[in-house]
Amino acid sequence: MMRNIPIIATIIALLAIGTMIRLGFWQLDRLDEKQAILEKYGNASSLEEITYPTLYDSEDLPYYRRSSVNCFEVISWSSVSGKNVRDESGIAHIAQCKTAGAEGPGAEVAVGWSKSPDNPKWQGGLVNGIISQGRVQPIKLTVQQPVEGLEMLKAPDPANIPNNHFLYAIQWFLFAFFAAIIYIFAARKKMRQKKLAESSDPAN
């Protein structure tokens, strides 16, 4: 019986199934990490306001913390899709600002929402808001009071961060299960064919 088992195919199947199971457990580990991050971000807005960082640790960015920045000069504008506080779709206007210290990276500031892609006339100033993930830089400030001519953007909310690692884990475990089933059926068929061929061989 054992000599009829396809050795190479079995090794490949076991390696593939083992990899899928390992990826499933890795996703469960990521689930715990993501839940800890979401809990941290969920409490961030209740903490005291921080100075807008010009230097930051890429492994520990201050997302969802309240902060303020003084935009000395608007260097450039960009427009992306965004929503206002009424959850209407439109344009988020983002300024790349010069800040204190000419050598610094400046600040990315989402200053408000509108239906039009035309840039506002805002030239800079002190703004307060909430830190979230940036487009050009790792972080940006979404202002809590829009500049003149714009409406208020929907505030960054950690509840919108996807946490699908449990579903990914289930998918990998299902892939491993079905791969095992498919291999078993294929191996049994191969073994039956080999056994049949041997039994019909006159030399046997």
pLDDT, one tens digit per residue, over 170-190 is 999 999 999 999 988 887 887
How do residues 32-84 score in pLDDT, each as one tens digit? Answer: 888 887 787 777 777 788 888 877 777 778 889 999 999 999 999 999 999 99
Between residues 198 and 152, the one the model is more confident about: 152
DSSP 129: E
Residues forming beta bridges with residue 84, ordered by sequence position: 153
Task: Judge whether residue 155 has pLDDT over 90.
Answer: no
Mean pLDDT of the chain: 85
State the pLDDT confidence band at 204, using cuts at 50, 70 and 90: low
What is the structure's pLDDT at 190? 76
Answer positive or negative: Cα dihedral of 44, 45, 50, 55.
Answer: positive
Torsion of CA 55, 59, 63, 69, to 10 degrees: 0
Backbone dihedral region for residue 112 (phi beyond 0: left; psi -120 to 50: alpha; all else: beta): left
Q: Are 38 and 58 in contact (CB under 8 A)?
A: no
pLDDT of residue 137: 86
Lowest mean pLDDT among 94-98, 105-109, 147-151: 105-109
- What is the band of 101 on the pLDDT scale with cuts at 50, 70, 90? low
The predicted structure's pLDDT at residue 199: 66
> Would you state the pLDDT for residue 186?
83
Q: Looking at residue 60, what is its pLDDT?
A: 79
pTM: 0.67
